[in-house]
Amino acid sequence: MGLVSAYFRRGWTILRSEVLVLPSRLAVLLFIIALMAVPLFTQDYYILRILILTCIFAIFAASWDLLSGFTGQMNFGHALFFGVAAYVTALLNLDLGFPPYLSIPLGAVGGVLAGLVVGIPCLRLRGSYLALTTLAFPIILTGLVFAMPDITGGELGLSGLSRLTGSRVMDYYLCSSLVVILGFAMWKITDSKTGIILHAIREDEVAVRSSGINTIRYKLLAFCMSGFFAGIAGGLYAHFMRLAGPSTLEVSLSFQVIIWSVFGGMVSIYGPIAGVFILNPLMEVLRVALGNFPSLPEIRMFIFAGLVLVTLLFMPEGLIPWVRDKLENECPRCKLRNVFIRQRCRVCDTSLS
């Protein structure tokens, strides 16, 4: 009994000293709790469906940030990884009868291979040239999909995949816990030694090379990791929608992910995730709220675009970094973050004003 309470006290100390001291960490904790608690309040099919799709797109957006935000390899064709994984998952499930827990990871492996296929020709490209080249890949693959309707189902795509899990609530728990786990994994990657090198490649590739780092290997690694996480999102999407169609390769999906990430704040894994969780449900809310104005069917796109423009005008770094800078100050001495109400740094006791 004493042991249990000792562990409990230890856990509480860690929670208080590491998590509760910063609003951003508290916000992450509250977000995870809220995400897990949603089915307790509503089990409405429609709401859960929106949230599941939001979770899937959040993984997708974070994987884009890993490649384009951190490593600086501007990818305008990120839907390729999503689509390849969706198709691979669908083919494995339909033709070979693999269950979701096998077909989704194997689909993600398909995403990794797609990352290699895109990454190798793009190694020498930079900036806008890289962006244009990556943009071409999903378009090429769409053409191939249409050219081989026997395998890929053509315009209709592959439908009739088995369900993700037995019930909608279980689907929801699977996707929401994956968003937390994979988001944490991606954040941990960017926080590691590899992450430092990826950061440095974005800043100046020649200087990294003359520091003795094989940049080719790290760039390919970034493409593969990004393809893997995007692939998991694609596989989840295919199994959840029970459909893998050409819409998963659309250019609009590639740009959607950029809008989400830039809105939420690039070069931070949590930024794109938050961006998706704000913008995607907002679109659905607007759809319901504006349902009374059938004369203006697409006004919600107009509102959406205006919102994104205004946000980026006033918060050029994105929404989440802006909010975080309002709530937290950086200690000038030890560079640790503190709540804005504190007068002195919580670690080194330097005056913050």
Partner 1 sequence: MPAPFLEIKELHKDFGGLTATNSVSFDMGRQEMVGLIGPNGAGKTTLVRLINGILKPDRGKVRFKGKEITGKKAYDIVNLGIASTFQNMRPFRRLPIIANVMVSCLSPRAMKRGEWVKKVEAKAMDALEFAGISDMALEKASTLSQGDLKRLEVARAVATDPELLILDEPFGGLSPAETELMAKSVARLHKGGRFGRLHSEGPAMIIIEHKLQQLMKIVDRIIVLNFGTIIADGTPQQVVEIPEVIEAYLGEGGV
Name the residues that contact partner 1, by CB under 8 A: 192-193, 196-197, 199-200, 203-204, 206-215, 334-335
233 in Cβ contact with 82 (< 8 Å): yes
Q: Report helix, strand or coil for 351.
A: strand
Measured CA to CA in angstroms, residue 204 lies from 8, 213, 215, 216, 266 at distances of 47, 12, 11, 13, 18
**Minimum distance, C-beta of residue 216 to partner 1, in the bound complex (Å):** 9
Q: How far apart are the first and last CA of the chain?
A: 46
CA 106 to mean position of chain CA atoms:
19
Q: How far apart are CA 337 and CA 302, in angstroms?
A: 37
CA-based torsion, 145, 147, 151, 153: positive or negative: positive
Q: How far apart are CA 303 and CA 299, in angstroms?
A: 6
For residue 346, give both structure tokens: 């919580």
59 in Cβ contact with 233 (< 8 Å): yes
For residue 234, give both structure tokens: 């694609």
In the bound state with partner 1, the residue whose beta carbon lies nearer, of 210 and 292, is 210
**Minimum distance, C-beta of residue 210 to partner 1, in the bound complex (Å):** 5
Choose among 239, 240, 281: nearest CA to 260: 281
**Minimum distance, C-beta of residue 200 to partner 1, in the bound complex (Å):** 5
**Minimum distance, C-beta of residue 340 to partner 1, in the bound complex (Å):** 20
**In this structure, what DSSP letter does residue 130 have?**
H
**Minimum distance, C-beta of residue 215 to partner 1, in the bound complex (Å):** 7
**Minimum distance, C-beta of residue 322 to partner 1, in the bound complex (Å):** 17
Q: How far apart are CA 315 and CA 313, in angstroms?
A: 6
**In this structure, what DSSP letter does residue 67 have?**
I
In the bound state with partner 1, the residue whose beta carbon lies nearer, of 124 and 341, is 124
In the bound state with partner 1, the residue whose beta carbon lies nearer, of 198 and 225, is 198
In the bound state with partner 1, the residue whose beta carbon lies nearer, of 208 and 319, is 208
For residue 69, give both structure tokens: 């935000």
In the bound state with partner 1, the residue whose beta carbon lies nearer, of 44 and 330, is 330
Cβ atoms within 10 Å, residue 95: 10
**Minimum distance, C-beta of residue 169 to partner 1, in the bound complex (Å):** 40
**Minimum distance, C-beta of residue 29 to partner 1, in the bound complex (Å):** 25
Q: Report helix, strand or coil for 337.
A: strand
In the bound state with partner 1, the residue whose beta carbon lies nearer, of 70 and 223, is 70
In the bound state with partner 1, the residue whose beta carbon lies nearer, of 74 and 200, is 200
